[in-house]
């Protein structure tokens, strides 16, 4: 007794039309109607496969059927890129790894380039920079990897595990950690130099004797944000109310500082942010893919 053939279903539009001359059947039995000429021009590997006479099942399809090991989501993404068909709006990058694997397997160079462009432009690079960094390293997208590394300074290094991280080597991850730490040191160095010109002299406020007549709470602020910048070397850290709040509350206890603290602190933080950003921008990310 023969085993029943698994049921197939047509792909979503526009790959369910009748004008193609080849059927691409995914691993989950979805049939995509495509054109040999387009596939052959995009992939030298598929060109060779399509030159081999394909079976023409009499009961399933009037077109030759080529079976693929990729699932329907992957084939749909690839065909949309080849045909220039817009993809449904999505910020999900789960599809990227299998698409890149298929692009390498079949030598879809144009598909790999489209993925590179999407990764660079996508909001995902800001939301999940570590995953994007891993994918970019695996695919050899140096510009994407460098951009993701720069965005990673906005977060503590690390994060939830993803299979996408397996795309990069241990060396690529090590260089990322080194870059993150160097940015932290640069940010803290900028913070240290700012202590020399900060608006921090008052004859009334409690002082730190080791710093002359400097306000004590100002130096506590520097100490706390320096620790934070070492883990998250991003200039926005210094504006966090967790650190600015104690400064405002302490200054409001002084009749001389209270009327000025909000204005002066705002000016100071703005200047200091620029100092930190300039220092971090000078840190070079040594990437070797």
* pLDDT tens, residue by residue, 167-178: 999 999 999 999
User: Rounded distance, CA 64 to CA 180, Å?
Assistant: 53
Is the predicted pLDDT of residue 212 greater than 50, yes or no? no
**Contacts (Cβ under 8 Å, ≥6 apart) of 221:** 243, 244, 246, 247
DSSP string over 220-267 = HHHHHHHHHHHHS--GGGGG-HHHHHHHHHHHTTSTTTTTTHHHHHHH
- What are the tens digits of pLDDT across the range 71-130? 999 999 999 999 998 877 666 788 899 999 999 999 999 999 999 998 887 767 788 899
Mean pLDDT over the full length of the chain = 85
Q: Which residue has the tokens 């690839």?
A: 78
Is the predicted pLDDT of residue 289 greater than 70, yes or no? no
Is the predicted pLDDT of residue 46 greater than 50, yes or no? yes
Is the predicted pLDDT of residue 181 greater than 60, yes or no? yes
User: Rounded distance, CA 120 to CA 97, Å?
Assistant: 15
pLDDT of residue 1: 44
Is the predicted pLDDT of residue 59 greater than 90, yes or no? no
Both structure tokens of 89: 């709006």
DSSP string over 136-163 = HHHHT-HHHHHHHHHHHTTS-S--S--G
**What is the CA angle 217-220-225, rounded to 5?**
125
């Amino acid at each position: 007794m023969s085993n029943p053939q698994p049921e197939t279903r047509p792909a979503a539009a526009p790959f369910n039309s009748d004008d193609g001359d080849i059927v691409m059947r995914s691993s989950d039995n979805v049939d995509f109607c495509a054109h040999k000429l387009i596939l052959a021009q995009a992939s030298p590997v598929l060109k060779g496969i399509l030159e081999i006479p394909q079976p023409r099942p009499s009961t399933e399809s009037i077109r030759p059927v080529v079976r693929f090991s990729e699932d329907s989501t992957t084939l749909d993404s690839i065909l949309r890129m080849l045909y220039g068909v817009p993809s449904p709006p999505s910020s999900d990058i789960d599809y990227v790894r299998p698409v890149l694997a298929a692009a390498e397997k079949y030598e879809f160079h144009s598909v790999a380039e489209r993925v590179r462009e999407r990764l660079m432009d996508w909001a995902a690079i800001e939301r999940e920079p570590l995953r994007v960094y891993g994918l970019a390293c695996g695919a050899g997208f140096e510009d994407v990897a460098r951009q993701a590394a720069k965005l990673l300074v906005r977060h503590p290094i690390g994060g939830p595990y993803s299979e996408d991280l397996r795309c990069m080597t241990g060396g690529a991850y090590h260089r990322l950690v080194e870059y993150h730490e160097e940015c932290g040191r640069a940010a803290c160095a900028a913070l240290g130099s700012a202590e020399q010109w900060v608006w921090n002299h008052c004859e009334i406020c409690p002082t730190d004797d080791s710093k002359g007549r400097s306000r004590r709470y100002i130096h506590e602020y520097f100490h706390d944000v320096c620790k934070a910048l070492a883990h998250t070397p991003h200039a926005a850290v210094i504006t966090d109310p967790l650190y600015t709040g104690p400064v405002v509350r302490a200054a409001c206890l002084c009749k001389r500082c209270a009327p000025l603290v909000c204005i002066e602190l705002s000016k100071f933080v703005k200047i200091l942010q620029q100092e930190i950003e300039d220092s971090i921008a000078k840190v070079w990310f040594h990437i070797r893919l």
